[in-house]
Amino acid sequence: MNQSRPAEIAPGIYWVGGTFVNKGLQCNPYLLIDDQEAVLIDPGSVLDFEEVWGNVCSLISPDQIRYVILHHQDPDLCSSVPLFEQRGCRFQLVTHWRTKTLVRYYGVSSDFHIINSHQNQLKLASGRTLSFLPAPYLHFPGAVMTYDARTQTLFSSDLFGAFSEDWTLEAGEDYLERMKSFHEHYMPSNEVIRPVMESLMGLPIMLIAPQHGSLIRNDIRMYIKALRDLECGAFLHSVRKNLDISGGYLASAEAVLKRYASLYGLSEAQRVLTESGLRADSDLRVFPAQEADHQMWNALLEKMFARKGLEWLLTAEPLVERLSYEYEIPLPEVYTAHLARSNSELQRLSEENKSLSAARDRLVENLAGVEHSMSHSMLTGLYNFQFFQKYLKEEIGGIIEKELGSSPALIVLSLDQTERIKYRYGDKEVEQMFKNTALLLESIREDYQVYFKLPGSLFACYIPHAAKERAVDVAEEIRNAIASSGKFVEAVTASIGVVSLQELQPEEHQKSIAPDRFYEIALERVRIAKNKGKNRVCGSSSPEDKPSTCDILLVEPEQTVAEVITVVLENMHYSVQHAADGEKALEIAGRFQPALILSEVMLPKMDGFVLRQELLLRSDTKSIPVLYMSHLKTEASVRRAADLGVIHYFKKPLMLAEIQGVVSNLAEKGERL
């Protein structure tokens, strides 16, 4: 169909094209009329100039044209500009600076309005603003599009264009396919077109007016999406295929391997290779295996991650990302799985606590100074003793020197059963135990804590900033995790010492001696914990416990019963505290440190068993002897009580003489009564 009359495609915007079509390439010049001003967009070629001139003149007088917009420099849209000038039109050429350079060669004489120096905008006299959207390399480095916000029209230049053998002004049903083939040929690649299309997604668009092809009014988002996902650059395909054969995955793998070898040594790299089922020569040139594909690429990175952990992933990230981009292969799954997670975690933490993140920075800084291979224990994968000493020196020294306000804490733990396991199961089992402990610690580790494997059966945890109480809580958590774990061949417990930097004497607060002293105190407390009967946390160097302010804690919900027992015990000159439920009992036990707890089993809020379990979780209450008394005394309940280390289980009705007897026996045995 031919159309030679101008058509109003939007209020004040006219299609002013001619009938000349060359090999299916229809050109669409547009005229925008705004009050007394007119803007001509992509005026066209020499071949259809007469028709366009006629159309323009039928709408306005030619001297109203103030601007001519040139989206890029192709002759099919620029070559008629000198002809307009010859007919006496005076206008400014609105274009990108790159386009200007080339347009000059058409022999134009008009002034230029360079959009780069006008914030990519053109302001008309009426205040109407046309904005220009960059479309680099689509298909010229300086290509742009024009967007008219008032009518929400996008003059898209070559984008959204199409080959049209039987052209119509408005796009038909089949326009999508026509458009695709045009883009496949003219646009370089999906990577280039995707971001431009994504930026268009956010723009309100009523009409797309391309320079070739037809006007798009319906389903605009569908068209944008189609282009966004279009694999274009058809003529590049042959080039890329070659790349695949010559390298692709293999080349990427080699590059990554070389980086790996440079960090961890050649032999380590060889090991990874064999583990992931690949072969390579001494220069790490990988022999093409049968499946040199995505699977191999994944497997390789997975293995590396398994051996070297997250640190390696982070180090190699830019390289791998670049390779994936270069060869257009997807990122390995380890990255998508692990890195995204840890990144977001890091971000959260750094926002949460500045002092913590500062500490982490220091750690990273210190880390960088220490050879990684020298810093880790072979067995457990935790940092080793040498590193620990160095780290402590740097860290504590730094804090003292720079007078930073942070108060780090150190937790040192010793596994109590090492000798026993060694004796019963052999050295291998001990190694296994250390490994398991490391894994256990790793699983409860918080991001800012650093774990070390010290000589013997010692482990350490450094917390960059924590109050003493918090550190003790962490230590208790570790203690309970170890004691309740089924990972060991038999039950294993830990004696733990906790120290905070603030506990150091003022005279010890010197850079030279503080780090050693810090560690010494922690060790000393481990010894105290061991002496006190193992499986406990010790947070103070004085061997004395908190002074007990009451002898016996009586937990009994029934008032009368409690009164009678209180009287009986007071007759024996003990002081008695009374709690009516489990929760209250726990609180009193923590506060008063009674020498003995006499408790009913069936209690409101928290029964006697749970109460005992909660008491066991805290080192300061775990060794308070507990006696039960209850109507409920069955085989199951007595067995459970025995498992919890309860000394005696009275059956109600209570024989008062029995209570008196047991309590005074305990006193004689040297309990603190």
Partner 1 sequence: MIGSVETWLIIAGILIVIDVFFAWSIYVSRIKNDIHNEITQDQRHMLIRILSDKGSAVMKKTDPAIYLTMKRTFQFGAEWEAKIEALLPMNRLERRAIRALRSSNLTKRAEAVFALGRMGNENARLALERQLLIEDHFTIKLYVANALSDIGHSASLPVLIRSLHHASRFYRTRVNMLIADFGQAFHALLPKLYYSKKEEIRELLVDFASVYDSQELKQYLLTVIEPYIEGSGISSSEEERPASCSDCSFGRADGQEGWILCRFRGKVASDFLCRRYQPGPTRISAAQVEQELMHKACEILSTRHPGVLDCDRYLYARDVEIRRAAIAALSNLRGSDHPEKLLDLIRDESIRESAAHALSVMIERDPSLLELVANRFMAETDPSVKRTLAEVLSLRIEYFIMRLMGEKKRVAEHILEQILLTGRVSEVIDFLNLNKNAELEIDLVAIVKRCTQKDPKLKNLFRTYFSPRLQTLCESAEPRPESESDQHSADRAYLIVLSILLVSSFLLVPTVFLVMHRELLGELTLIPGLKLFVRDFNTYFAFYAIAVNFIYFALMGLSFVYVRRQKRSWQIKDRSFLFKPRMLPSISIVAPAFNEARTIIENVNSLMNLSYPDYELIIVNDGSTDQTLATLQQEFGLKRVDRIYAKELQTKEIKGIYLSRNLPKLIVVDKMNGGKADALNAGINVASREYVCSIDADSVLEEDALLKLVSRILEEDVETPAMGGNVFPANGCTVERGVLREKRIPKNRLALLQTIEYIRAFMCGRLGWAFTNNLLIISGAFGLFRKERGVRVGGYLTSSGEYGKDTVGEDMEIVVRISRRMRELGSPYRIRYAFNANCWTEVPEDLKTFKKQRYRWQRGLIEIMYFHKTMLFNPRYGRTGAVAMPYYFFFEILGPLFELQGYIAVLLAAVLGVLYWDIAVMLFVAVVLSGTLISITSLLVAEHGGKLFPLKDVTRLLFWAILENFGIRQYFSMIRAVGYFRIFKGVTGWEKSERRGFTGSESKRPEGVI
Residues forming the site for partner 1 (CB under 8 A): 302, 305-306, 309, 337, 424-425, 428, 431-432, 435-436, 439, 442-443, 484-490, 558, 560-561, 563-564, 567-568, 570-571, 581-583, 602-607, 609-610, 613, 631-634, 636, 640, 652-657
> CB 611 → partner 1: shortest distance, Å?
11
Tell me the residue type at 297.
W
Min dist CB 341 to partner 1, Å, is 10
Residue number with CB closer to partner 1 (30 or 574): 574
Would you say 195 or 330 has its CB closer to partner 1? 330
Closest distance to partner 1 from the beta carbon of 582 (Å): 8
Nearest CA-CA partner of 155 in 165, 169, 145:
145
* Least Cβ distance, residue 334 to partner 1 (angstroms): 9
Backbone Cα Rg of the chain: 40
CB nearer to partner 1: give 83 or 610. Answer: 610
3-state secondary structure of 50: helix
**Which residue, 245 or 337, has its beta carbon nearer to partner 1?**
337
Spatial neighbors of 599 by CB under 8 A, at least 6 apart, are 553, 554, 555, 556, 585, 608, 611, 612, 626, 627, 628, 629
Cα 41 to chain centroid distance, Å, stands at: 47
- Kindly state the smallest distance separating residue 263's Cβ from partner 1, in Å: 18
Measure CA 221 to chain center. 32
Q: How far is the CB of 534 from partner 1 (least distance, A)?
A: 18
- Cα→Cα distances 61→36, 96, 117, 287, 352, Å: 10, 27, 30, 73, 66
Minimum gap (Å) between residue 308 Cβ and partner 1? 10
- Segment holding 181, helix H or strand E: helix 175-186
Q: How far is CA 289 from the centre of its chain?
A: 34
User: 231 CB contacts (<8 Å, ≥6 apart)?
Assistant: 184, 190
Query: Do residues 432 and 489 touch, judged by C-beta distance below 8 A?
Result: yes
Residue closer to partner 1 by CB (options 225, 294) is: 294
Quick one: 254 or 581, whose CB is closer to partner 1? 581
Across-strand partners of 496?
A: 413, 537
Three-state secondary structure call for residue 298: helix
Could you tell me how many residues make up the chain? Answer: 673
SS3 484: coil
* Min dist. Cβ of residue 293 to partner 1 (A): 16
Between 395 and 556, CB nearer to partner 1: 556
Residues near 211 by beta carbon (within 8 Å), at least 6 away in sequence: 27, 28, 42, 71, 76, 77, 155, 156, 157, 158, 161
Closer residue to partner 1 (CB): 263 or 632 = 632
CA dihedral 624, 629, 635, 637 (to 10 degrees): -60
Whichever of 370 and 489 has its CB closer to partner 1, that residue is: 489
Tokens of 267: 């032999």
Question: Residue 584 in contact with residue 553, Cβ under 8 Å?
Answer: no
Min dist CB 567 to partner 1, Å, is 5
Closest CB 495 distance from partner 1, rounded Å: 21
Which CB atom, from 568 or from 667, has the smaller least distance to partner 1?
Answer: 568
